[in-house]
């Protein structure tokens, strides 16, 4: 291959789509490294502290798309202190200097200020797509800057961010000349947008395929929007409070009927069960159905109107193409009538054989159900089950759920992500280590009996990239059993486990290319904080491989050992 001209090598590399493949070919030889780096268009940085932004820009000057992730996943559940880090500004500044041709930026779990958004809006003349997922630190002012200055914007996708709403008419800042939008998602915003501006924007963007509204958008507005854009493929509704007796309801159903291309539905805030019936006509073509904001319905008088096990039975019988399902605990008070159980999951698995991605919160689960689900849906790629009561056993047999999850990992050979819950012993980890060859991310909470559990996983899962553990009895022996493993992984999170300060120090000493961060949030009045002994148990630990060494902007409560 060294005899091939560079253009040919580069052309061959064009066929390599995944980051991993491109990373692999770049290590073959210096020549290939050069060709690859100059032709790389999309760069993925899984941990913003693994590498310096400037270094990325220098290596990939032709970069058009940058994806960066910041805080550890458990930050979503308030386990990471608010000011831990993950700032977007250094990345945007570096890109403004080094890669002004940037067209797309995707950030997840990062702190993004209005200042960074304004810099972004002004620095990249060809900027086309901004995707912010679970970020915070910005307001509608920053969005206004994006709308105003990004002339070729095609995609603005805001997923579950904490956005300060200053009521500024940011949506009205899209100039009349903006007709390029293909995807717009502002579902996470709390405030109202100008209805007229929204409808005019939708009308002039003839290529719009994805639109996700926020709760403040009324049914009337939705109907007008659907009338103008029946070619939508992805739709997130606003607040769906409409009485099924009314003319408005009929018009809404008509509007839905006209949307023949819908494949992805979400939203459904405040939905009345009878309103959901308007969804059924589009159901046969759905591949993604997100009911996470639909409230659970108490005391419904018809089988069809309940979200709950009965509701899932209906979904199972109508949405045959369904690939992804998420059911959240909208009713967490546990009064039981509308909560979902193992029955709903079994129904879904028998009706939706193409299901490959699941996030399911429930009050109870049995081994028998999981074994059935494993048989019905061997195609799971992501399987996340959360039984709301930690450490809860199979209610019928009182056994741990080892066998159930064992069946899942044995049957689902393509499983890449798994979240466990319920009562679990070391045995489930034995199964996971043995069978989950493709597993990349594992989330463990309140599980296991001893260090052996964690060791099975570290020794067994060849492709493990992220391991996050909370409230489980794994200690220093497990942590130090296979230290080389952590350099093959992106990160390890352990909180409320048995790991001690001494164990963390030992790990840091053995592996200089890891950052071992210990997060301490002790009371200032606690005197033991001054000089904790090595036997001191560590509350929160985050370990990740890095090229940069300890970060210099880490807050006081983070000790990098």
Q: Which of 224, 416, 470, 545 binds another protein (CB under 8 A)?
A: 470
Q: Which of 62, 175, 284, 334 binds another protein (CB under 8 A)?
A: 334
The answer to whether residue 188 forms part of the interface with another protein (CB under 8 A) is yes
d(CA 61, CA 58): 6
Classify strands 514-519 and 491-495 as parallel, antiparallel or unpaired. Answer: unpaired
Stretches 225-233, 311-319, 350-358, 516-524: which one binds another protein (CB under 8 A)?
A: 516-524
The answer to whether residue 489 forms part of the interface with another protein (CB under 8 A) is no
Classify strands 558-560 and 514-519 as parallel, antiparallel or unpaired. Answer: antiparallel
The answer to whether residue 399 forms part of the interface with another protein (CB under 8 A) is no
Give, as ranges, the residues between 114 and 143 that touch another protein (CB under 8 A): 134
The CB-of-481 to another protein minimum distance in angstroms stands at 16
The CB-of-162 to another protein minimum distance in angstroms stands at 6
Q: Which of 361, 429, 431, 486 binds another protein (CB under 8 A)?
A: 361
- Judged by beta carbon, residue 177 or residue 533, the one nearer another protein is 533
By rule CB under 8 A, what string of x and - marks binding of each residue 147-186 to another protein?
A: -------------xxx------------------------
By rule CB under 8 A, what string of x and - marks binding of each residue 234-273 to another protein?
A: ------------------------------------x-x-
Is residue 135 classed as helix, strand or coil in its secondary structure? Answer: coil
The answer to whether residue 389 forms part of the interface with another protein (CB under 8 A) is yes
Query: Which contiguous run of DSSP H or E holds residue 503?
Result: helix 501-510
Q: Judge whether 443 and 420 are in contact, CB under 8 Å.
A: yes
Structure tokens at 174: 């899209």
CA nearest neighbour of 407 among 440, 391, 383, 387: 383
Separation in Å, CA 166 to CA 39, 191, 433: 42, 8, 50
Q: Which of 296, 357, 366, 546 binds another protein (CB under 8 A)?
A: 296
Phi, psi (deg, nearest 5) at residue 96: -60, -35
Phi, psi (deg, nearest 5) at residue 398: 60, 15
The CB-of-372 to another protein minimum distance in angstroms stands at 24
DSSP state letters, 164-217: E-----GGGGS-TT----SEEE-TT--S---HHHHHHHHHH-TT--EEE--TTS
Structure tokens at 344: 């709903």
The answer to whether residue 74 forms part of the interface with another protein (CB under 8 A) is yes
Q: C-alpha angle 540/543/549, rounded to 5°?
A: 125
The answer to whether residue 83 forms part of the interface with another protein (CB under 8 A) is no
The answer to whether residue 532 forms part of the interface with another protein (CB under 8 A) is yes
The answer to whether residue 542 forms part of the interface with another protein (CB under 8 A) is no
d(CA 8, CA 11): 5
The answer to whether residue 481 forms part of the interface with another protein (CB under 8 A) is no
Q: Which of 84, 293, 435, 542 binds another protein (CB under 8 A)?
A: 293
- Judged by beta carbon, residue 214 or residue 372, the one nearer another protein is 214
Q: Which of 171, 205, 242, 297 binds another protein (CB under 8 A)?
A: 297
- Residues sharing a CB contact under 8 Å with residue 311, sequence separation 6 or more, in sequence order: 297, 305, 344
The CB-of-207 to another protein minimum distance in angstroms stands at 29
Q: Judge whether 485 and 466 are in contact, CB under 8 Å.
A: no
Q: C-alpha angle 46/409/79, rounded to 5°?
A: 45
The CB-of-454 to another protein minimum distance in angstroms stands at 11
- Judged by beta carbon, residue 39 or residue 443, the one nearer another protein is 443
β-bridge partners, 67: 44, 106
The Cβ of residue 306 has, within 10 Å, a number of other Cβ atoms equal to 22
The answer to whether residue 450 forms part of the interface with another protein (CB under 8 A) is yes
Contact positions vs another protein (CB under 8 A) = 74, 76-79, 134, 160-162, 188, 215, 270, 272, 292-293, 295-299, 301, 328-336, 361, 386, 388-392, 419, 423, 425, 443, 445-447, 449-450, 470-473, 496-498, 521-523, 526, 528, 532, 536-537, 539
């Amino acid at each position: 291959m060294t005899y091939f001209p560079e253009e040919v090598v580069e052309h061959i590399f064009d066929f390599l789509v995944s980051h991993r493949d491109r990373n692999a070919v770049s290590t073959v030889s210096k020549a290939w490294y050069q060709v690859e780096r100059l032709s790389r268009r999309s760069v993925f940085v899984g941990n913003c502290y693994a590498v310096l932004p400037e270094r990325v820009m220098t290596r990939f000057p032709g970069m058009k798309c940058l994806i960066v992730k910041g805080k550890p996943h458990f930050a979503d559940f308030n386990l990471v202190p608010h000011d831990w880090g993950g700032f977007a500004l250094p990345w945007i500044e570096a890109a403004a200097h080094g890669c002004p041709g940037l067209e797309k930026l995707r950030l997840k779990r990062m702190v993004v200020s209005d200042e960074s958004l304004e810099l972004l809006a002004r620095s990249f003349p060809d900027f086309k797509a901004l995707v912010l997922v679970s970020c915070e630190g910005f307001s509608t002012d920053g969005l206004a800057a994006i709308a105003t200055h990004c002339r070729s914007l095609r995609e603005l996708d805001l997923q579950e961010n904490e956005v300060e709403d200053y009521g500024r008419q940011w949506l009205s800042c899209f100039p009349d000349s903006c007709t390029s939008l293909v995807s717009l998602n502002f579902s996470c915003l709390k405030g109202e947008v100008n209805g007229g501006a929204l409808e005019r924007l939708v009308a002039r963007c003839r290529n719009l395929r994805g639109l996700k509204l926020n709760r403040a958008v009324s049914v009337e507005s939705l109907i007008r929007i659907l009338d103008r854009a029946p070619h939508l493929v992805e739709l997130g509704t606003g607040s769906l409070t409409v009485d099924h007796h009314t003319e408005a309801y009929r018009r809404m159903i008509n509007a839905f009927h006209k949307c023949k291309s819908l494949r992805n539905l979400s939203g459904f805030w405040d939905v009345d069960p009878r309103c959901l019936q308007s969804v059924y006509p589009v159901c046969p073509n759905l591949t993604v159905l997100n009911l996470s904001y639909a409230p659970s319905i108490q005391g419904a008088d018809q089988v069809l109107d309940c979200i709950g096990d009965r509701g899932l039975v209906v979904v199972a019988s109508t949405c045959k193409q369904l690939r992804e399902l998420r059911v959240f605990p909208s009713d967490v008070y546990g009064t039981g009538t509308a909560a979902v159980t193992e029955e709903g999951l079994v129904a879904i698995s028998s009706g939706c054989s193409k299901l490959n991605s699941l996030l399911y919160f429930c009050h109870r689960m049995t081994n028998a159900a999981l074994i059935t689900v494993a048989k019905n849906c061997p195609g799971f790629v992501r399987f996340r089950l959360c039984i709301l009561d930690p450490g809860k056993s199979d209610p019928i047999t009182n056994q741990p759920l080892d066998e159930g999850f064992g069946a899942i990992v044995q049957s689902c050979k393509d499983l890449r992500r798994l979240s466990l819950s319920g009562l679990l012993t070391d045995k489930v980890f034995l199964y996971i280590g043995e069978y989950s060859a493709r597993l990349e991310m594992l989330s463990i909470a309140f599980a296991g009996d001893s260090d052996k559990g964690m060791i099975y996983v570290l020794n067994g899962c060849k492709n493990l990239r992220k391991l996050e553990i909370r409230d489980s009895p794994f200690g220093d022996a497990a942590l130090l059993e296979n230290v080389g493993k952590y350099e093959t992984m992106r990160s390890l999170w352990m909180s409320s486990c048995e790991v001690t300060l001494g164990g963390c120090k030992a790990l840091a000493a053995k592996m200089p290319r890891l950052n071992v961060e210990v997060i301490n949030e002790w009371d200032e009045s606690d005197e033991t904080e001054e000089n904790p002994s090595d036997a001191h148990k560590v509350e929160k630990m985050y370990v990740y491989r890095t090229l940069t060494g300890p970060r210099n902007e880490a807050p006081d409560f983070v000790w990098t050992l």
